[in-house]
Amino acid sequence: MTARRQFLAGALALACVPSAARATPETVAEAVRQLVAGRQVRDGALTIDVPPLVENGNAVPLTVAAPAGLSVVALHVFTEKNPQPHVLHARFAAPTPAARVATRVKLADSQTVLALAELPDGTFLRARADVIVTLAACIEDPT
C-alpha cells in the first residue's frame, strides 16, 4: 500500500469515527452477556448467510437461519466493529421451526458478525461469520 493510500485510509477512518464511538469485542461480550443473562450458550448449527467479501458496507445482505429441525423464539445479531454492537433482535411470538430472518445491514469495517438463536427452553445457539469490507458504511457523502 502506498503512503498516499495509507494517508487516505487513515483520513477516512478518522472521518468515520469522530469520537471513540466504536464497539469492541468487550462491548459485544457485554451486550451478549446482558442478553443471555446467565443462561446456557453453545456453538451450534446456526447459519449466517453473508457475502465473505463485501464491496459496499452500506447495504450487506444478511440472513440468519436456524437449523430445520429446531424451533426458535428469537434471533439476535451483533457486530464487533460497528459504532455500537447491536444489529437486530427479531422475536417470533410462537416457537418457529426453520426460523430465519433476512435483512440488509451496514458494516463499518472488516469484522466478525455474531448471531445468537434463542430456543424455547431459554438456552442459546451461537455462530460467527467473518466478513471483509472494502468500502466501509460511513464513507458515503452525507446528502
Cell of 13: 477512518
Give the shortest CB-40-to-another protein separation in angstroms.
23
Scanning 40-48, 101-109, 115-123, 126-134 for contacts with another protein by CB under 8 A, the matching segment is: 101-109
76 by Cβ neighbours in 10 Å (0-12 / 13-18 / 19+) ranks as buried
Cell of 108: 463499518
Within residues 22-51, the interface with another protein by CB under 8 A covers none
Site membership for another protein, residue 112 (CB under 8 A): no
Binding mask 55-84 for another protein (x = CB under 8 A): ---xxx------------------x--xxx
Q: How far is C-alpha 85 from the geometric centre of its chain's CA atoms? A: 8
86 by Cβ neighbours in 10 Å (0-12 / 13-18 / 19+) ranks as middle
Site membership for another protein, residue 98 (CB under 8 A): yes
Rounded to an integer, what distance in angstroms lies between the CA atom of residue 130 and that of residue 109?
11
Site membership for another protein, residue 99 (CB under 8 A): yes
Q: Which residue number, 96 or 110, has a Cβ lying nearer to another protein?
A: 96
Rounded to an integer, what distance in angstroms lies between the CA atom of residue 36 and that of residue 124?
8
Among 27, 47, 103, 112, binds another protein (CB under 8 A): 103
Give the shortest CB-5-to-another protein separation in angstroms.
22
Rounded to an integer, what distance in angstroms lies between the CA atom of residue 84 and that of residue 21?
7
Q: Binding residues for another protein, per CB under 8 A?
A: 15, 17-18, 21, 58-60, 79, 82-84, 86-94, 96-107, 137-138, 142
